[in-house]
A and B are shown apart, each in its own frame.
Chain A
Amino acid sequence: MAAKTLTIDGKPISAEEGATILQASEEAGAKIPTLCHLDGVYDVGACRLCLVEVTGVPKLLPACTTTVAEGMDVKTDSERLRRYRRMILELLFAERNHVCAVCVSNGHCELQTLAYNHGMDHVRYDYLFPKWGVDNTHPLFGMDHNRCILCTRCVRVCWHIEGAGTKNVSGRGAQARIITDLNIPWGESDSCTRCGKCVQACPTGALSHKGSTVGEMERDRGKLEFIVLAREKKQWVTAD
């Protein structure tokens, strides 16, 4: 495959044709913040946290779904980007009910970590305080819509790693939500194999193992990487 040469944060690098800016940035040692991206499944550009500046392009582009081009000049960090990223994080907090103090993921949450790394000391937007429920009908797992950021990682692992197709999205905008099959309680699903991949994939406290209490929900993302690596590269090693 042809290689493309480009600069990321002033560093000249070469990347495979078809690689995303996000993939290329790893080589350049630039750490772009991501939330909906998950190693091993395709990207959808849902969260917009990975926005970068590309010289000559007036709008900001998501690094996870933009492929590299010859001569591209990418900036992954700037005052403007940091301002937008913090804004995105604040909107995520305002849109649902995040009460870290009583959340299963407190201390192990990607949203929470990104928030403090972006200097989010408070949320400037009015909280919506929507009324969302919790689906605790599954024998092994729980789904708390209050903590869901609609990144669709669970949907993608369920369809494309497990191949079960249990998790889906219904509705639009702030009313969008993760559903089971054609919107039935999770516990009644025949398609769910109880593999738990969605729980491993979730960046927040939305999906958890039943019985975990505040701060207890830690995930082992290595398990997903192991499966993907084994399937795609026929390498049976844990990704570490």
Chain B
Amino acid sequence: MPNHLHPNHLHDDELIALASGEGEAPKHLKDCPRCALRFKEFERTLALTTTSMPQMEWNPLQSGGFMHQVRRGIELQSAPRPVPWWQPALGGAGLMLVVLLAFQAAVDQPALEQDSLLASESPDTIDFDEEGLSRILVDGSTGFEYGETVLNDEDDELLILIDAYLIDTATEDELMMSLGDLTEDGVGAAFDL
């Protein structure tokens, strides 16, 4: 029997759990050089990543400025905000974008799925779907809930995106032309996190 099919060998997940300090090492780990070596590798992986993971440099003197910005943000959000002249126009542009993307996502779903699968091998990292995309685009919500709370529902993420795009480029017509070129591959790449 090939070594890797040895019935008593520990699964990688068991080895990782042990290396993470969960549970007691079974006797097999002491007796089997193959599992012992692999366990050492996971142990060293965790030791390296937890001790050498870079930290963001943060001087405590920056904290005053940080807290000031937070306070200012809080004050700004409680003040009434003027509506920029281009926002009503963007409402229409946003609606068009949603319609375009929803249509394109609908016409070639198998290709979309394949793209998502290629993008990640993890079974739990594929969370892109049409419904999710529409939700993100329509109300800025990522669909996460916390208890009775729905986060991000006030974010008009779409507006931010279009805003950023308009600042960087020129006219709404150009924006709509670019959006007409969006393929599901592009949409998948943009949202598959």
The answer to whether A binds B is: no
